Amino acid sequence: MDVISVIRTKRDRGELSPEQIDWVIDAYTRGVVADEQMSALAMAILLNGMNRTEIARWTAAMIASGERMNFDSLSRPTADKHSTGGVGDKITLPLAPLVAACGAAVPQLSGRGLGHTGGTLDKLESIPGWRALLSNEEMLHVLDTTGAVICAAGDGLAPADKKLYALRDVTGTVEAIPLIASSIMSKKIAEGTGSLVLDVKVGTGAFMKNIEDARELARTMVGLGTDSGVKTVALLTDMSTPLGLTAGNALEVRESVEVLAGGGPADVVELTIALAKEMLDAAGIKDADPAKALADGSAMDHWRRMIAAQGGDPDAALPVAREQHVVTASSSGVLTRLDAYAVGVGAWRLGAGRARKEDPVQAGAGIELHAKPGDTVTAGQPLMTLHTDTPEKFDYALSSLEGCYDVSPAGTAFSATPIVLDRIA
Q: State percent of the chain over pLDDT 90.
A: 87
Q: Which of 287, 309, 331 is the last residue of a domain?
A: 309
Lowest mean pLDDT among 74-78, 156-160, 287-291: 156-160
The yes-or-no answer on residue 393 being catalytic is: no
pLDDT for res 50: 96
164 burial via Cβ count (<10 Å: 0-12, 13-18, 19+):
buried
pLDDT, residue 89, reads 96
Single out the catalytic residue among 10, 57, 81, 82. Answer: 82
* Catalytic entry in 89, 161, 169, 339: 161
pLDDT reading at 165 higher than 90: no
The active-site residue out of 123, 162, 187, 188 is: 187
- Mean pLDDT, residues 40-50: 97
Question: Rounded to whole angstroms, how far apart are CA atoms 206 and 296?
Answer: 33
| pTM of the full structure | 0.90
Select which of 183, 195, 256, 400 is catalytic.
183
Active site residue 372: no
Same-domain status, 261 and 378: no
Q: Is 183 a catalytic residue?
A: yes
pLDDT tens-digit profile of 362-420? 999 999 999 999 999 999 999 999 999 999 999 999 999 999 999 999 999 999 999 99
Question: What CATH number should be reported for the domain holding residue 235?
Answer: 3.40.1030.10
The tally of CA atoms less than 13 A away on the side-chain side of residue 341 is: 11
> Does the pLDDT value for residue 355 go beyond 90?
no
What rounded mean pLDDT belongs to the chain? 95
- Give the residue numbers spanning the domain of 195: 80-309
Judge if 200 and 146 occupy the same domain.
Answer: yes
Here the CATH number for the domain that contains residue 37 is 1.20.970.10
Q: Is the pLDDT of residue 98 over 90?
A: yes
Share of the chain above pLDDT 70, in %: 99
pLDDT for the residue 113: 78
Answer yes or no: 349 catalytic. no
Q: Is 161 a catalytic residue?
A: yes
Q: What CATH number is given to the structural domain containing 380?
A: 3.90.1170.30
Structural domains of the chain, count: 3
Is the same domain home to 154 and 260? yes
Q: Are residues 152 and 276 both part of a single domain?
A: yes
Name the burial class of residue 175, with classes exposed (0-12), middle (13-18) and buried (19+) by CB atoms within 10 angstroms of its CB. middle
* pLDDT (0 to 100) of residue 357: 65
The mean per-residue pLDDT over the stretch 307-333 comes to 97
Whole-number pLDDT of residue 157: 85
Among residues 116, 168, 215, 277, which one is catalytic?
168
